[in-house]
Each structure stands twice: as C-alpha cells, then as structure tokens.
Amino acid sequence: MRTPALALLLLAGTGAAALAQADRLALPDWSTADLSWLSSAGQFAQSQAICASVLHAEPPPADYPSPAEAAALDGCDSTYLYYGVGQPQDRVAARQCAMLEREQQRRLFAQDMIDPYPLLDGSGTLATIYANGQGAARNYDVAIHMACEMNGAPAEMEGRIMRLADMRDTGWQGDDFHPCDDVTSGLAAGYCSALYAAEAADRRGAREAAAMARWPAPQRQAFAATMAAFTDYAEVANLLNCNGGTLAPTCRIGGTQDMVERYSARLLALAARAPFPPEPERDDMDGGLARTAVMTQAEWQALLADLYAPDRPQYEAHHAQAIAARQGFEPTLVAFARMARPDLTAHQVRVLFRDL
C-alpha cells in the first residue's frame, strides 16, 4: 500500500500518543467478528478467544516512527520494503511504514470510507515483522494481534492465528513466516500472486541487466521494446484465464508471469546463441486459455465447442483481441532478432517463438 502524504499526519507523536489513539481507532478484530452466517461458526471459537486475549498487545512505543521518519516514508509500501521489491530491503523502514499504513486504515475505517483488508500492508506487514523478529524484536502477542486485524476469509484467519499461537507456544525462532502461506480465498490469492510476480520481475530484471551490459545500445533498446510489446500481449492473452470467478486475477497474473518469464529467457538464450532453457513446470494457476492466439483452427473450434453457448461470444471476441495483440508484438521480436541473430530469417525467428 502506497502511503500518501496525508498519512504523515496520522502519527503526530510517537509512543504514548500513538498508543493513546489505538483504542479510539480500532480496526475490525477477529475476536468480535460476527460469524453467525456460518453453520460452522463454533469451530472458530478458539482462535477468536486467542485474539481476545491479545487485544491490547500493541507495538512498543519505541517502534513507532518519529515525525521526521514518517515524512521520509511518504509514498512507502511496507511489503515492498520488507521483501526488497524494486528497492533495497529495509525492514526497519518496513515496520515504520506499516505503522503509517495501519493508522491510515484506522482513520479511514472510522469514517466508514474503507473496509480494510491489510493482508500485505499495515497490520499484515506488522504481523510478519513481529513473528519473524525482522525489523523489530520478536513479539508473538503483537504478531497475533496484528494477524487478528487482517480481516480475511474465516478459514484463512483461523489457520493463520492458530499457526502463530503454536509458534508462540513452541518458541519458534525462524524468520520465514509469510501471510500468504495461509490464504484460502481468491481475493487473497490475487494479492499474493501480484507480490510473487513483482519479486519474479526483479529477479528477471537482474538477469536481463547482466546480459544487456554486453550489448550495444540499439540492441538493448530493441530488447526493451519487444519485452514491453510481449508483456502487453501476454496480459491480453490471459484475460479469461480460469473462466472468471474469484481466482481469475490469480490466473491472469500467473499466466502472464509464466509467458513473460519464458519469453525473456528465450530472448537471452537467442542472443547468447545458446539452447532455449527447459520449459518450467506449469502451475494450475497459469490457467488453461493463455495460448488461444497460437492454437490451430481445429484446436480453437474444439475449445469453443466445449464452452457454454452463452459464453462463446465473449471468448470469440477475446480470441480476436489476443491474435491482434500477438500480431503487434511479432515485428518487435523480428527487429530484436535482426540485431542479435542476423543469421536467422524472420520466418525462423517466428517459428522459434510460435508456441507463446
């Protein structure tokens, strides 16, 4: 969550002042969640009781950012700081940023402006920090309290809270607690998939930069152009992955990530005159319709025949859109190959990439 400048006003003081407003600006807590709509509501009584027992376990006063520290964190994202996504890893700054995010969410919730879902910011990041002892001293009661504010699906909340309680009771000393390990809903899976994709993009970018350091400027520019065009195509190609539903965002992100990763790896191998790398193991969340633009006509007609009739127009429109997007990126591929591998014809290059 990017923290806007307004959030800098939320922690006008540190320590006692910040703690004083905690009771006035409470986020939804699992201990008081209304589960009457569930036939199995009774099964969550233990985790709700655990949350009630740590209801006032707030971060220590010294862990809140000072006004100067808060000002320096304008626009921050606590999860990206914690994992070092797109920037150097700084877990102390992640903790301070998460404090700002949590206070902002409290204010907005108190004004009925949001229904907070702090899986990967605010309380979610703080649960991670205090459970792992990374960016702050380990404090399981605070970690559990923060997890109780995460406002997720019942099974997800139950699993995460019970896991943290077990970690506390057994004296776990690890540092790899991750809130995404407990997700059970399509909504949460989408948030986690976006984080994983951002982390993968960082790793891919580092590999690309190392290879491009040896290339002339025009070849680097051609590579950037074809990667951008292919990414646009991959996003279009995955629009209807998982046939909609709550897992659709996860499938779109996973399918797009899979295609972009494969394309980048092949381009680097092509330029290095090396064999293409082995195909990565596919995940179910990559979706089943990511390659309709490269299906044969017979394959496409067979897929259409299996669809529910009212859905076919939507898929036919998407198929045409994906083909157009593919036609848009292919010239950039040929332009890059002309610089990296002038020994290959345009047709040979297209054949090498025809399955993407």
For each of the chain's 356 residues, which pLDDT tens digit applies?
A: 565 544 444 454 444 455 445 445 689 999 999 998 988 878 999 999 999 999 999 999 999 999 999 999 999 999 999 999 999 999 999 999 999 999 999 998 888 877 778 899 999 999 999 999 999 999 999 999 999 999 999 999 999 999 999 999 999 999 999 999 999 998 899 999 999 999 999 999 999 999 999 999 999 999 999 999 999 999 988 887 766 677 888 888 988 999 999 999 999 999 999 999 988 766 555 555 556 777 888 888 888 888 889 888 988 888 899 899 999 999 999 999 999 999 999 999 999 999 88
Do residues 100 and 126 lie in contact, with contact meaning Cβ atoms separated by under 8 Å? Answer: no
pLDDT at 288: 53
pLDDT at 238: 87
The full set of domain ranges for the chain reads 5-182, 186-352
The number of CA neighbours under 13 Å toward the Cβ of 333 is 26
pLDDT at 8: 46
Which phi and psi angles does 204 have, rounded to 5°?
A: -65, -40
Residues 255 and 257: their CA atoms lie apart, in Å, by 5
pTM of the model: 0.86
DSSP string computed for 35-98: -TT-TTGGGGHHHHHHHHHTTT-PPPGGGSPPHHHHHHTTT--HHHHHHTSSS---HHHHHHHH
Residues 50 and 148: their CA atoms lie apart, in Å, by 9
Do residues 222 and 336 lie in contact, with contact meaning Cβ atoms separated by under 8 Å? Answer: yes
Residues 226 and 352: their CA atoms lie apart, in Å, by 15
The one-letter amino acid code at 109 reads F
Instruction: Please choose, from the candidates 224, 258, 211, the residue with its C-alpha nearest in 3D space to the C-alpha of residue 238.
Output: 258
Burial of residue 49 (number of CB atoms within 10 Å: 0-12, 13-18, 19+)? exposed
pLDDT at 292: 75
pLDDT at 85: 97
Where would I find the H helices in the chain? 16-20, 45-53, 67-72, 78-83, 91-110, 123-132, 140-148, 154-170, 186-212, 217-237, 248-271, 297-306, 312-340, 346-352
Question: Who's near 244: CB < 8 A, 6+ residues apart?
Answer: none
Tokens of 28: 């939804």
Tokens of 72: 């320096």
Instruction: Please choose, from the candidates 148, 163, 139, 165, the residue with its C-alpha nearest in 3D space to the C-alpha of residue 51.
Output: 148
Burial of residue 327 (number of CB atoms within 10 Å: 0-12, 13-18, 19+)? exposed
pLDDT at 111: 86
pLDDT at 160: 98
pLDDT at 233: 93
